[in-house]
Amino acid sequence: MQIQPFHLAIPVDNLELARQFYRDTLELPEGRSDKQWVDFNFFGHQLVIHFKEKKESSTIRNTNPVDGKDVPIPHFGVVLTWEHFHNLAEMLHQKNVSFEIEPYLRFKDKPGEQATMFFYDPCGNALEFKAFKNQSQLFAK
Domains, the chain: 1-53 (3.10.180.10), 62-141 (3.10.180.10)
The C-alpha atoms of residue 105 and residue 87 are separated, in whole angstroms, by 15
Amino acid at site 119: F
Residue-wise pLDDT tens digits, 50-77: 999 987 766 678 999 999 999 999 999 9
The C-alpha atoms of residue 20 and residue 23 are separated, in whole angstroms, by 5
The dihedral formed by the CA atoms of 72, 73, 78 and 80, expressed in degrees to the nearest 10: 40
Residue-wise pLDDT tens digits, 73-82: 999 999 999 9
